Amino acid sequence: ELKRNYREEIYPGPLPKPPDERIPPSIHTDFEEALKCFGVGAFRATGVMARRALQGCCLDKGAKKGKLREQIDWLFQQRIITKDLNGWADEVRLVGNDAAHPRKPGQDKPISQDDAKAILELLKQFTNVLYVAPAIAEETKKSRQQKIVE
């Protein structure tokens, strides 16, 4: 009996864990779509949707419409984000720009699986700092105060 070496691939693969529910709905939807794109190997689309989710964060936090780089800078100037978060956001922006904007034939910058995975992780950490950690802190505070009242 001959043994055959083959690999059966199930497509699409398992989807990444969805974003935290404490992220505002419009941002959550874009972030979740970026994760779905990643799950089916659409890394360029992952970049575009991660960038869109990032811009949603900027607008949600009060940045005016305009260029994303200026919105990120505004968040930093207002001390809404730190220098590190500014850098993380810029990486998401740059990879998203490479994904969204075609270049001359032969000059396109491909978005690798590693690129897409990295910006999703940066976006996750960015949204954790802006939305998830403050929500956890507020939930903890309310729980503690409730215990004091009882």
User: Considering only CA atoms, which of 118, 119, 104, 135 is closest in space to residue 52?
Assistant: 119
At 118, give phi and psi (nearest 5°).
-65, -45
How far apart CA 109 and CA 111 sit, in angstroms, is: 6
pTM: 0.84
What are the CA-CA distances from residue 147 to residues 20, 81, 140, 142, 144 (Å)? 26, 32, 11, 9, 5
Percent of the chain with pLDDT over 90: 72
pLDDT tens track for 66-125: 999 999 999 999 999 999 999 999 999 999 999 988 877 777 778 999 999 999 999 999
Residue whose entry in the numeric block shows the structure tokens 């993380």: 88
Nearest-angstrom CA–CA distance, 8 and 121 = 28
